[in-house]
Structure 1
């Protein structure tokens, strides 16, 4: 699996797990919040809380079987509320706290419409709720007696005179109110005109009275109101709320506090676990990579490739450990990079050593002719010798030969770097290779200084024409012939052969000399390599084979070498 896919799967898994955990936490918070809200509302306005929240707590099962938890059952009893649940056929399938035998077990459509319109059933005030979340609809009826409302209505009818209470009626009404430990306030046109009974509540602003009606549990007194629109009179009856102080203090139960604490702890633990997991899965490998970078910066490649850091990540069988597998490709690439850098460092050290050896050789090659030139110069300058004409010609010849050798040496330096930087362009032309190579061989074979070497030529039996740049290609032939002569003992036989076949031109240089060691063959094209097949010092700066190979490559060809020590060497140019 590719790195980007593996990282994508890891992050998807993390996001999915986070989503699931967050979802469940939100659900728990929502349930806890709804529970606390329902309990708060049950304290402040029991009837409203029961009507709005009890249907959500009813558990509907098959065959119209319904379960209701004990908390809601107790709430119904404490607030003197009965409940009936009606199915789609109008039949009562569940009821609780229905002590009145006059309540029906089945309702007609007319009964239900009358309840929906008047919110009454006999003497009961009825609140309704229509359940739409279940597969089939259910209709909830919650009934209760408005005893205080009926009592207040009776007092109004008995003692009131157009809403006012005066004289003996006021005294008799006060006795009734004191029996119930209440207090009556009468308002007309927005003003308090009469207070009957002992004061059990401070004077309130209009909105406080409305609040006592909506959330009676939040106030010290419960309020019952009767309005007479004709006289614009309102009777407000106050009665002590015995449970007010107790309910406010006991807002949270021990069980609820435990739930809140548990949810809070889980909410903290989940991010901590995810952070630890992220640090372990993503952070630790990155720290190891940073350490590897430091080791590479300090060129401690063995520590990365074989040391303790390597053992942290790789098993004995060479595979990446599971906890680091997400960055498998990164570690493998880093290991390969470290290996390449280690090899490059070793190669650089080797090249540096070779360069120093080559520079020493070049210094020697330059020092030898310079010493001759310098020596003859001192002799001519000293005026201590009386040279003959022949001696002066001999000195001049030596100085010229040595100077020409140095010029050729410098030219070769320049040529090597031009070839390296591709600063040389060749002008190809169609050339008869048989004639071209034959002329080059004859130039060497006719050199009287090489009379002890036998150089032969074998042309191709068929016409052989190739596209070459004669100016540069002759340098290749000369370098190969010179090397064969220079690095082999006298009486070495050198055979040059041209062969044209299958759209290829092959020029082969074969000798029966000392040969080249196997480990040296691949180094012959190195700019700084001289070879180790001879113990004596030979002239040359070790550039001939490098120059020859670069020129052949410019022609689109290649040079192949096959050699055996003490048996000879075969060098082939393939165009």
Structure 2
């Protein structure tokens, strides 16, 4: 896996380098041929005229005066600007005219002297010499222009085209081999530097896939952000896994609790049913009604548990359609409090209802809101002693605020984070309280389904306050 990734990256780097070299060579040769064949200044700017071109074109400044060659004033300025001198010769190589000539210059040239002056740098006069000619008075005169500038250089190159092509082929092959080797070495170290962190990242992702979440890489280099995100992902997955384990544990406890709660009424229903059908027993009408009442009560309890489970799943999956109607929330809360106090089991409880105005209308699903408020009040009742004082209040500000407050035992801080979780049962639940363990979660889901908010604040031995905003 490692060499496969490194090999692909290395091959790409080497291939790119070789292609760039070939393109550069082809481009350079093309531009060189264009400049040589068409005299287009590719390598030389338009404003920079070569010394050789200047020499060829200088003939336009040479004229005759009194049967003697002279140069124009503009020609003299050009020579001064280029730090050059000129020497005009007749057909026999004898000097006819000179301007800005160095002291060591010859006055008479043989053809060989002229060739040597053109081919080689004249060290005695410290100049690079170019040769050209012009016909004056029907005579072919030659002239030498010497450039004293150290930047003007000349190379005379003699070659055989066959040797040139042969050397070009060998040179190109050697160049490609050398550059390819260099590219291979550079590419190897470069690719190794880039791919080594990738191996670490791939290994880290594989460890995450295997549920090894204790990753902590040092964010540095090219992949600094990637390492940071892998660390962040590892932290999140670790937290999610921890939460999942906690939820699974709660589910197991909840299944055990609810199984026990369901078995108890089922055992009662089964027991009384078996007694009632047994021919050996002869029950009176009063006894039959008493047993029937117990069976009904246990059946209603089981029905409530099943309904809680069904409602919880529908709320969780957002598959519950709200049947909203215009409802007076003050009247709804008043009726909830009255119904609870009318229950014989809670008739002695202290529940105070407070409101700021008689009518607060709102579009809500009345049955679901009733269910949520009931769950919250019953939760305050069953988790506290009989002398608990519960206050239910409602007022309208920017939003409708419903507050359920008690002065009971309170809830431990570590339990507050889970109070609205499914399957959670508080440690203060009394033995008389049986249920699905979904009451608070259902209340929370109902309020949020109405785009509301529910918050809880509690302190041990001081009580609990639940606030709903709709």
Match of 1:457 among 326, 350, 353: 353
1:84 has 2:114 as partner = yes
**Structure number, greater radius of gyration:** 1
CA displacement 1:213-270 (0-9 Å, x = unmatched): x98x99xxxxxxxxxxxxxxxxxxxxxxxxxxxx9xxx99xxx9x9999857632431
> 1-side partners of 2:330 and 2:171: how far apart?
102
The runs of 5 or more residues in structure 1 that have no matched partner are 1-13, 31-54, 56-61, 66-80, 87-91, 98-104, 122-133, 143-213, 219-246, 315-319
Using a 3 Å threshold, how does the CA distance of structure 1 residues 535 and 435 change in structure 2: closer, same or farther? Answer: closer
SS in 2 for 1:484: helix
> 2-side partners of 1:393 and 1:344: how far apart?
53
1:289 has 2:184 as partner = no
Runs of 4+ in 1 over 4 A off after TM superposition: 17-21, 23-27, 62-65, 92-97, 105-108, 111-116, 134-138, 258-265
Q: How many residues align?
A: 363
Match of 1:280 among 167, 174, 192: 192
Which residue of structure 2 lines up, in the alignment, with residue 415 of structure 1? Answer: 311
Which residue of structure 2 lines up, in the alignment, with residue 531 of structure 1? Answer: 426
Using a 3 Å threshold, how does the CA distance of structure 1 residues 410 and 109 change in structure 2: closer, same or farther? Answer: same
| Equivalent pair of 1:458/1:497 in contact (CA under 8 Å) | yes
Which residue of structure 1 lines up, in the alignment, with residue 58 of structure 2? Answer: none
Match of 2:406 among 508, 511, 517: 511
Match of 2:213 among 301, 324, 331: 301
Within 5 Å, which residues of 2 pair with 1:474-489?
A: 474-489=370-385
The runs of 5 or more residues in structure 2 that have no matched partner are 1-12, 30-51, 53-81, 86-110, 123-129, 143-149
> 2-side partners of 1:521 and 1:513: how far apart?
15
1:569 has 2:468 as partner = no
Using a 3 Å threshold, how does the CA distance of structure 1 residues 137 and 336 change in structure 2: closer, same or farther? Answer: closer
| Equivalent pair of 1:64/1:93 in contact (CA under 8 Å) | no
Which residue of structure 2 lines up, in the alignment, with residue 346 of structure 1? Answer: 242
User: How far does residue 340 in structure 1 lie from its aligned partner after superposition?
Assistant: 1.4
> 1-side partners of 2:120 and 2:345: how far apart?
132
Within 5 Å, which residues of 2 pair with 1:19-38?
A: 22=21
Match of 1:110 among 120, 135, 138: 135
Using a 3 Å threshold, how does the CA distance of structure 1 residues 268 and 434 change in structure 2: closer, same or farther? Answer: closer
> 2-side partners of 1:359 and 1:352: how far apart?
10
Within 5 Å, which residues of 2 pair with 1:247-396?
A: 266-302=178-214, 304-305=215-216, 310=217, 314=218, 320-321=219-220, 325-396=221-292
| Equivalent pair of 2:133/2:140 in contact (CA under 8 Å) | no
| Equivalent pair of 1:83/1:96 in contact (CA under 8 Å) | no
Using a 3 Å threshold, how does the CA distance of structure 1 residues 260 and 513 change in structure 2: closer, same or farther? Answer: closer
| Equivalent pair of 1:82/1:95 in contact (CA under 8 Å) | no
> 1-side partners of 2:370 and 2:171: how far apart?
97
SS in 2 for 1:301: coil
TM-score in terms of structure 2 length: 0.66
SS in 1 for 2:348: coil
User: How far does residue 472 in structure 1 lie from its aligned partner after superposition?
Assistant: 1.5
Using a 3 Å threshold, how does the CA distance of structure 1 residues 64 and 540 change in structure 2: closer, same or farther? Answer: same
User: How far does residue 63 in structure 1 lie from its aligned partner after superposition?
Assistant: 5.0
User: How far does residue 535 in structure 1 lie from its aligned partner after superposition?
Assistant: 6.0
- Tell me which of the two structures has the higher relative contact order, counting C-alpha pairs closer than 8 angstroms and 6 or more residues apart: 2
When the two chains are superposed, the root-mean-square deviation of aligned CA atoms in Å is: 4.3
